[in-house]
Structure 1
Amino acid sequence: MSGRRGGGCTSVLSMLLVLGLVISMVVYLSPALDLGNVRRTVAADPMDGVPGSGGEGYSFMQVAGDGDPVTWGCEERIEVVVNPQGAPEGYAAMVESAVRQVNEASSFSFAVTGETEDREFLDRGRGPVLIGWADEQEVPELEGLTAGLGGATYVSGPGGAARAVGGMVVIDTESQGGGWFSRGIDQEVVLVHELIHVLGLGHTEQTDQLMAAENGGQDQLGAGDLAGLAALEDAACG
């Protein structure tokens, strides 16, 4: 999610853009795992989900070979660790609140298990979801008007099915200060948006949804956001 570009505002400089990365580690499961076959990809256009995926008001970050969206296991408890380096004052309460909002809106359950010194944001494998803060020198994808990035790592089997096994959220340290421009979008909203990317939703063209790429002041989940989360649940548990 970006804290510095976005749609629905009166000028480019007052826009808020929200970005999501698909940081996908594709591992073909076999009795003898050859790590040399691991491949990581970044979506060509991180502002959008897979073209044609999803439904009214939502899209999927990634679709597996069997056509289902890539998400976590049914009702999975997803461990989260936080790196506080560069975090704003009160970050722990902010993370807790964002996690609670996403948990209440979905069948998945993020659980903050502690803090870490880990700062491997874009090259993640299987393990807990990392939440942290960085600048564009450390994470070049934060360059420009981007306030945050989020995505999942997934494994894929030869039958085409895939599921998420890790992920990350990184917030631009330059976006701190309680809100951006006249819209007042704060970091907690960014965290909610990016955590939903971790679950598997991409962006929508509907600007009244929290998962819109260009945020014009939306700070609550919309009907499309909730429908998308329900679709992820159906894919995980169906």
Structure 2
Amino acid sequence: MKLLAPVALTTERRRGTSRGPSTTRHRRLLALVAAAVVAATLTAIPSHAGDTGITARAVSVRAAKLSVSAPRKVEPGDRFKVTGRVRTGVRRPVKLIDRRTRKVASTRTSNKGAFRLTATAGPVDELQRFTVVAPKYRRLKAVKKSFSVDVVAPLPEQPPPPPAPSTTVITPTEVPTAVPTEAPTTAPTVTPTGTPTSEPTITPTGEPTVTSTGTPTSEPTITPTGEPTVTPTATPTSEPTVTPTQTPTETPTETSAGDGLDSAWTGTRIVAGTGQSVQITGTVTGTDVAGRDVVVEQLYADGWHEVARTTTSTTGTFSSLIVGDWIFEAPARVRAPATASAPNASSGVVATSSVPAWTPLGPPAAWTEISSTGRWRWDPCDTITYRTNFDLAPAGAREAVDEALADIALATGLRFVYLGDTDGFPLPEAGVPAVEADAELAIAFAPDHMTTADLSGAVVGRGGFSQGERGSDAVGPVIEGTSGILIVDTEWSPSHEALVDVTRHELGHAVGLGHSSDTDQVMYPSLLGWDDWGAGDLSGLATKGRAGGCITIDAPPPYPGAARTTVVGRTLP
């Protein structure tokens, strides 16, 4: 038996009602508890009803039984072994996926589940990400494990000291008139281009300081053709600092001279989602300048990350872009990695930002985590696969989901990969089909009787995680989501604007945000008709997305038969 950390499903309510746990919900909870006792594999911590009267419910899943061993640090281009074990007692396929190049190496386990694969380190200094996958095989569920290898080039060797002056033989008839050049007393000092001595730490902005306005006591009025009425709790004290119509040419060019690489940066402050880009041009100097790889990097919470790559011309010139397809504020640099005949060359560090095209409302601190017992987020260094079910959805639901996904990607930099539609539903009731296991995020529209996610009474949607793995990131311990859900109730008649609002809100839960008590935030728990993310929403989403850096999954226990604890989601009020 293993105790599993609680979290991660949150509800939204229509105004006006608050219901206690019904007999049906008690029966569902008792059935789940009975199933957990019979299975005797995982035990969910029981939840208590919150002040909204919603009873928590657990979803039992099978724990992964995959261990992987790989070196922590290698040099560029090195080939290294990845070994491990899938504890299933049968031979089954295993794949190793390089998440940068998407190259796949395959093998089969031994009868005892052991396997060995070979991976190749990339050509540049980076934190290289890999995933070992044991696909679904016969009746065995698919399992996977991600790990990182630090690719670090050795420091360049110090050049040899200059040779001593040669000896001159003087004959009686010839005396030199010049004084020999004195040999230098010390060898020249070479300072290799290094990395910052410390990485920036992303510190959450803390608990919201705003005062909750309470739960509305009336049904929301949804007017598709009119503008929503919003009563902000705070008035901005300064003029907006974002000009949506600005173009890259309005920002002066900034030059940056580095060790063996000169660069010029145009448009270092751009507007996100408008097609603008930071433009970089420059020249690699020294020897071996033709055909050099040039990497554009940004500094996130866990270190430098490659965002673009190009190659120099025969004279060493290059040009590249940082695309403003998400909201960020990050230092950036350009680097030409070392070759066999030339050392690493790097520009200076330049501040870059991609800002929202609107003025975010409310205080930046007005956001919360989805769980009070731990931080949940997806790994932004990997994609998030998803499937959708629109069989019972109202007209315009597909467009609403696409719009909401674009909004969450803009705010976080997370990358969503559509796998297609499904006939299944998240957290299905008995006899209702489930969503295929290849989808990490399941999005569906359904009535209350088809899912164990309680959509009764005033609840219009639920979103969050149903499964995750314990790991760590630049801030500390974290739970990486491996299975998320978004489900919207079909027993109401929303306008298209309201449908976008609730879908965007539930996606906020599905990436790790909780409710906000500020009415200017999309994550406020009642539908008020928001046009865009608020300042609190964006502060919270920044910690969940690409700027927060990659996640490293904790190693499994070293003793035989032990499996990593699988976190089981539960509903929260």
- Per the normalisation by structure 2, the TM-score is 0.31
Q: Give the direction of change, closer, same or farther, for the CA distance of 1:3–1:161 in structure 2 (3 Å limit).
A: closer
Equivalent position to 1:60, from 350, 366, 369: 369
**SS in structure 1 at match of 2:502:** helix
The answer on whether the counterparts of 2:462 and 2:488 sit within 8 Å (CA) in structure 1 is: yes
Write the mapping of 1:65-104 to structure 2, written as runs, cut at 5 A: 69-104=375-410
SS at match of 2:521: coil
The corresponding residue for 1:190 is 502
Quote the Cα distance in structure 1 between the aligned partners of 2:40 and 2:409: 33
Separation in structure 1 between the aligned mates of residue 418 and residue 46 of structure 2, nearest angstrom: 27
Residues 4-60 of structure 1 show CA distances to partners (whole Å, capped at 9, x for unaligned) of 22xxxxxx38xxxxxxxxxxxxxxxxxxxx98126477685497xxxx965511001
AA aligned opposite 2:486 = V
Q: Which runs of 5+ in 1 are unaligned?
A: 6-11, 14-33, 180-184
Q: Aligned partners of 1:87, 1:46: CA distance in 2, in Å? A: 30
Q: Rate the CA distance shift 1:175–1:76 in 2: closer, same or farther, 3 A.
A: farther
Q: What is the match of residue 128 of structure 2?
A: none
* Cα distance between partner residues in 2 of 1:229 and 1:73: 13
3, 13, 37: which is aligned to 2:42?
A: 37
Map of 1:182 onto structure 2: none
Match of residue 171, structure 1, among 488, 492, 511: 488
Measure the CA separation in 2 of the matches of 1:220 and 1:42.
33
Indicate the residue corresponding to 2:522 in structure 1: 210
Pair 1:221–1:73, CA change in 2 (3 A)? same
Q: Note the alpha carbon deviations across 1:120-166, whole angstroms, 9 max, x for none.
A: 33698884211111112223611111111101133334985421001
Kindly tell me: are residues 38 and 53 of structure 1, through their superposed partners in 2, closer, same or farther at Cα, counting changes over 3 Å? farther
> Would the aligned equivalents of 1:63 and 1:70 in 2 still touch at CA under 8 Å?
no
Partner of 1:174, secondary structure, is coil
Counterpart of 1:162 in structure 2 is: 479
Q: 1:150 aligns with which of 463, 485, 490?
A: 463
Distance in structure 2 (CA, Å) of the matches to 1:72 and 1:43? 27
Measured in 2, the distance between the counterparts of 1:78 and 1:38 equals 27
Partner of 1:201: 513
> Measured at CA, do residues 46 and 38 of structure 1 come closer, stay the same or move farther in structure 2, by a change above 3 Å?
farther
Percent same amino acid among aligned pairs?
25
User: Aligned partner of 2:495: which letter?
Assistant: G
1:93 deviates by 2.0
Aligned equivalent of 1:26: none
| Residue 207 of structure 1, CA deviation | 1.3
> Corresponding residue for 1:4?
14
Give the aligned partner of residue 567 of structure 2.
none
Structure with the larger helix share:
1
Identify unmatched segments of 5+ residues in structure 2: 1-10, 18-38, 53-204, 209-364, 429-433, 552-573
Contact 2:471 2:479 (C-alpha < 8 Å) held by counterparts: no
Distance 1:108 1:96 in 2: 14
Structure-1 separation of matches of 2:14 and 2:379: 33
1:176 match: secondary structure: coil
Matches of 1:126 and 1:162, distance apart in 2: 20
Q: Report the CA distance shift for 1:45/1:71 in structure 2 as closer, same or farther (over 3 A).
A: farther
- Residue equivalent to 1:19: none
Alignment root-mean-square deviation, CA = 3.3
**Counterpart code for 1:4:** R
CA distance in 2: counterparts of 1:86 and 1:42, whole angstroms: 31
Of structures 1 and 2, the larger Rg is shown by 2
Q: Say whether the 8 Å CA contact 2:469–2:482 is kept in structure 1.
A: no
How much does 1:216 deviate? 2.6
Residue 414 of structure 2 corresponds to residue 105 of structure 1? no
Cα 1:41–1:170, aligned 2, differ >3 Å: closer, same or farther? farther
1:133 counterpart residue number: 445
Letter of the 2:489 counterpart: D
What's the counterpart of residue 426 of structure 2? 120
In structure 2, how many angstroms separate the alpha carbons of the residues matched to 1:98 and 1:35? 40
User: Does the aligned pair in 1 maintain the 2:498–2:529 contact within 8 Å?
Assistant: no
Q: 1-side partners of 2:506 and 2:520: how far apart? A: 17
Deviation at 1:197? 0.4
Q: Is the 8 A contact 1:73 1:163 kept in 2?
A: yes
User: Which residue identity lines up with residue 370 of structure 2 in the other structure?
Assistant: M
User: AA paired with 1:132?
Assistant: A
Amino acid at match of 2:366: G
Could you tell which deviates more after superposition, 52-61 or 197-206? 52-61
Q: Report deviation, 1:98.
A: 1.2
Give the match for residue 535 of structure 2: 223
More strand by share: 2
Distance 1:141 1:46 in 2: 16
Question: Match of 1:57, as an amino acid?
Answer: A
**Residue number in structure 2 paired with 1:20:** none
Matched-pair contact (CA < 8 Å) for 1:72–1:236 = no
Tell me the secondary structure at the aligned position of residue 141 of structure 1.
Answer: coil
Cα offset for 1:84? 1.6
User: How far, CA to CA, are the matches of 1:38 and 1:178 in structure 2?
Assistant: 41
Quote the residue 2:340 is aligned against.
none
Q: In the alignment, residue 469 of structure 2 is paired with which amino acid?
A: S
